[in-house]
A and B are shown apart, each in its own frame.
Chain A
Amino acid sequence: KAGVTQTPRYLIKTRGQQVTLSCSPISGHRSVSWYQQTPGQGLQFLFEYFSETQRNKGNFPGRFSGRQFSNSRSEMNVSTLELGDSALYLCASSLVPKGRGTEAFFGQGTRLTVV
Chain B
Amino acid sequence: AQKITQTQPGMFVQEKEAVTLDCTYDTSDPSYGLFWYKQPSSGEMIFLIYQGSYDQQNATEGRYSLNFQKARKSANLVISASQLGDSAMYFCAMREGGSSNTGKLIFGQGTTLQVKP
Contact = CB atoms under 8 A, between A and B. Distances in A.
B47 A104 contact: yes
Contact of B103 (A58, A104, A111): A104
Contacts of A56: 101-104
Interface string A92-115: 101011111111111111010000
A64 to B, nearest CB: 15
B42 interface: yes
B117 interface: no
Contact of A103 (B44, B47, B91): B47
A109 B43 contact: yes
Contacts of B107: 35, 42-43
Q: Which bracket fits the contact residues of A?
A: 20 to 34
Given A45-B106, A98-B95, A106 B44 contact: yes
> Which applies to chain A's interface (DSSP): helix, strand, loop or mixed?
strand
Nearest to B91: A43
A35 to B, nearest CB: 8
B63 to A, nearest CB: 18
B47 A105 contact: yes
Interface in B8-48: 33, 35, 37, 42-47
B109 interface: yes
A92 to B, nearest CB: 7
B105 A92 contact: yes
Contact of B43 (A31, A45, A98, A108): A108
B109 to A, nearest CB: 5
The 3 A-B pairs of least Cβ separation, nearest first, read A97-B103, A106-B45, A43-B107
